[in-house]
Amino acid sequence: MATENLSDYKDIWVFAEQRQGKLMNVALELIGEGYNLSREIGADTKVCALLIGNNIDDLAKECFEYGADKVYLVQDPLLENYTTDAYTKVITDAIHEYKPEIVLYGATHIGRDLAPRVAARVDTGLTADCTHLNVKLGSYIEYAKENTTLNTDNLDPNDPDTGLKMTRPAFGGNLMATIICPRTRPQMSTVRPGVMSKRERVEGAVGEIENVNVKLTAADIRTELIRVVRETKEMVSLTDADIICSGGRGLGGPDGFKLIKEFADKVGGVVGSSRACVDSGWIDHSHQVGQTGTTVKPTIYFACGISGAIQHLAGMQNSDIIVAINKDPEAPIFEVADYGIVGDLYKVIPEIMERWDAE
Ligand SMILES: Cc1cc2nc3c(=O)[nH]c(=O)nc-3n(C[C@H](O)[C@H](O)[C@H](O)COP(=O)(O)OP(=O)(O)OC[C@H]3O[C@@H](n4cnc5c(N)ncnc54)[C@H](O)[C@@H]3O)c2cc1C
């Protein structure tokens, strides 16, 4: 059933995912993106963080400092740990009560579990894994012309429409698709961590807090959380890394990652990988950069022996500086690289390491 009156819906909500009292980075990135969108929609559009948990009042301050105008605070002992049923219910109730125009979720395990279920409950659409969002047609056309092959010929840049244009890779990353949700509200999307930018933190910033009335009983939750088991293997934090040294099939085998690790240690970076190496069992999936791995945006991204397949580029092309090392001068990675070094990575990397300290 379509939403009856679209104009009843206003403001941009971000599901401010927290785990064990710590906000996920993607939530802060989405608050930043929400701010950009709100400025395009109009001055009275607020960016609101939807903060759910128990004893998490402190986190509201962080949301304000990163740009939220308002925090909807949903607290209850039954929300201490994430459960699909409880979170779905409280978000669905809140959407019905407050009617946000847009709701953004991080494409984390939790966001991907939650958002489709909420979409089904409130009977609206959801675009998963967006890499770009626009509201004004003018800015969308500009973006689409520069970054995609999407046809914008029939669009009028002065059209006042401010519906959300949600762009994401489609068909295995071979083309981009822009999806709209014209008949129902809220417009919802999940966005991968690392794709959008946080705003500069403003210490001491304040905003409005709305304590949301929770109508939840234990009977609403069909699962029982017995224990939380933390992963003990070493996890790489690709999304937060400033420098990433990634290896591809050009390494020739798993031992090549010893050189990449040495390189990363030398330059103060972390180890990334193409999917080819992950599929070959040379390195764990947690290192994979790309469409089906992690999206990254470091200051420097070293691509060593990586050809530059579109699915890899989808995860790293927004890096500030891309340095490609490849022995094939025609490798597509050179098209996105700021610095390209044609040569054998086993010769080039030791040279860079040698000079790193000297520079
Ligand atoms: C649905 C889907 C999702 C995908 N998701 C991802 C993803 O998330 N991430 C991802 O990376 N891929 C992904 N892929 C796979 C992607 O299409 C490519 O197959 C993969 O990225 C190739 O990895 P590569 O560049 O390491 O290997 P290759 O394409 O084989 O390239 C190896 C490169 O190394 C160079 N080389 C060889 N030896 C040396 C040397 N000694 N010194 C320097 N250079 C050398 C070669 O010239 C070549 O350019 C996906 C594919 C599909 C279909």
Higher pLDDT, 3 or 33: 33
> Under DSSP, is residue 12 helix (H, G, I), strand (E, B) or coil?
strand
Domain match, 46 and 91 both: yes
Q: How confident is the model at residue 359 (pLDDT cuts 50, 70, 90)?
A: low
When pLDDT is averaged across residues 226-236 and rounded to a whole number, the result is: 72
Closest residue by CA, ligand 1 atom 41: 344
Domain match, 203 and 276 both: no
In a domain, 237, yes or no: no
Provide the greatest CA pair distance for the chain: 66
Task: Check pLDDT > 80 for residue 239.
Answer: yes
Domain match, 164 and 248 both: no
pTM of the model: 0.77
Cβ–ligand 1 contact at 172 (below 6 Å): yes
In a domain, 308, yes or no: yes
Q: What is the pLDDT of residue 292?
A: 84
Domain match, 37 and 186 both: yes
Task: Check pLDDT > 80 for residue 1.
Answer: no
Interatomic CA distance for residues 119 and 63, integer angstroms = 24
pLDDT digits (tens, 9 = 90+) for 282-313: 999 889 999 888 889 999 999 999 999 999 99
Domain match, 308 and 216 both: no
pLDDT digits (tens, 9 = 90+) for 55-69: 999 999 999 999 999
Domain match, 209 and 247 both: no
Q: Note the helical H segments in the chain.
A: 25-41, 58-65, 84-98, 109-122, 137-147, 256-267, 275-279, 310-316, 333-336, 345-358
Please give the single-letter amino acid code of residue 87: Y
Contacts of 116 (CB under 8 A, 6+ apart): 126, 128
Q: What is the pLDDT of residue 234?
A: 54
CA 192 to chain centroid: 2
Q: 273 CA to middle of ligand 1, Å? A: 9
When pLDDT is averaged across residues 39-43 and rounded to a whole number, the result is: 87
Domain match, 23 and 170 both: yes
In a domain, 171, yes or no: yes
In a domain, 342, yes or no: yes
Closest residue by CA, ligand 1 atom 29: 307
CA 197 to chain centroid: 9
In a domain, 1, yes or no: no
Q: What is the pLDDT of residue 147?
A: 82
Domain match, 213 and 315 both: no
Phi-psi region of 268 (alpha: psi -120 to 50; beta: other; left: phi over 0): left
Last-in-domain residue among 187, 220, 253: 220
Q: What is the pLDDT of residue 192?
A: 86
Cβ–ligand 1 contact at 250 (below 6 Å): yes
Q: What is the pLDDT of residue 237?
A: 81
Task: Check pLDDT > 60 for residue 8.
Answer: yes
Interatomic CA distance for residues 301 and 320, integer angstroms = 8
Return the bridge partners of 246, or none. 272, 303
Closest residue by CA, ligand 1 atom 39: 250
pLDDT digits (tens, 9 = 90+) for 312-348: 998 999 899 999 999 999 999 999 999 999 999 999 9
Q: What is the pLDDT of residue 229?
A: 82
Task: Check pLDDT > 90 for residue 143.
Answer: yes
When pLDDT is averaged across residues 68-72 and rounded to a whole number, the result is: 98
Q: Rg of the Cα trace of the chain? A: 22
Q: What is the pLDDT of residue 19?
A: 93
Task: Check pLDDT > 60 for residue 233.
Answer: no
Task: Check pLDDT > 70 for residue 199.
Answer: yes
Q: 281 CA to middle of ligand 1, Å? A: 14
Please identify, by atom number, the ligand 1 atom nearest to the C-alpha of residue 248: 26
Angle at 62 between CA 235 and CA 72, to 5 degrees: 110
Q: What does the DSSP 8-state code read for residue 327? A: S
Higher pLDDT, 221 or 235: 221
When pLDDT is averaged across residues 170-176 and rounded to a whole number, the result is: 76
Q: 151 CA to middle of ligand 1, Å? A: 29
CATH classification at residue 279: 3.40.50.1220
Domain match, 103 and 61 both: yes
In a domain, 227, yes or no: no
In a domain, 238, yes or no: no
Domain match, 88 and 203 both: yes
Q: 35 CA to middle of ligand 1, Å? A: 36
Cβ–ligand 1 contact at 295 (below 6 Å): no
What's the total number of domains in the chain?
A: 2
Q: What is the pLDDT of residue 231?
A: 65
Cβ–ligand 1 contact at 326 (below 6 Å): yes
Interatomic CA distance for residues 116 and 136, integer angstroms = 25
> Under DSSP, is residue 231 helix (H, G, I), strand (E, B) or coil?
coil
Angle at 20 between CA 220 and CA 100, to 5 degrees: 60
Q: 29 CA to middle of ligand 1, Å? A: 28
Q: 165 CA to middle of ligand 1, Å? A: 31
Strand order in the sheet with 208-211: 126-130, 187-191, 102-106, 12-15, 47-53, 70-75, 208-211
Closest by Cα among 285, 258, 263 to 274 = 285
> What residues make up the domain containing 298?
243-356
When pLDDT is averaged across residues 98-104 and rounded to a whole number, the result is: 98
In a domain, 197, yes or no: yes
Task: Check pLDDT > 60 for residue 168.
Answer: yes
- The mean-pLDDT minimum among 16-20, 225-229, 287-291, 350-354 falls in 225-229
Percent of the chain clearing pLDDT 70 (strictly above): 97
Please identify, by atom number, the ligand 1 atom nearest to the C-alpha of residue 325: 43
Cβ distance 17 to 108 under 8 Å? yes
